[in-house]
């Protein structure tokens, strides 16, 4: 906590969080993006990533 009081630490966390976009703003920004065309399905991409991590 870098020598901060608890209230100063919490205030810093709240200020940091308030600077971030809301969930609604993030979703709206994502929806505004053009679709991505790929030769492989999202299911296959996820399956390969999980296999590499050993999740399966």
Question: What does the pLDDT profile of the chain (56 residues) look like in tens digits?
Answer: 578 899 999 999 999 999 999 999 999 999 999 998 889 998 999 999 999 998 76
User: What is the largest distance, in Å, between two alpha-carbon atoms of the chain?
Assistant: 53
- CA-based radius of gyration for the chain: 20
Q: Where are the alpha helices (DSSP H) in 1-56?
A: 6-19, 23-32, 42-53
Q: What is the pLDDT of residue 36?
A: 87
- Count of CA atoms in the C-beta half-sphere (13 A) of 45: 5
Rounded Cα distance between 28 and 21, Å, is: 10
Question: Is the pTM of the predicted complex or chain greater than 0.75?
Answer: no
First vs last Cα of the chain: how many Å apart? 39
């Amino acid at each position: 906590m870098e020598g901060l009081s608890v209230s100063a630490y919490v205030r810093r966390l709240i200020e940091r969080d308030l600077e971030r976009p809301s969930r609604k703003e993030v979703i709206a920004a994502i929806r505004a993006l053009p679709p991505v065309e790929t030769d492989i399905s999202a299911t296959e991409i996820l399956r390969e990533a999980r296999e590499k991590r050993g999740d399966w």
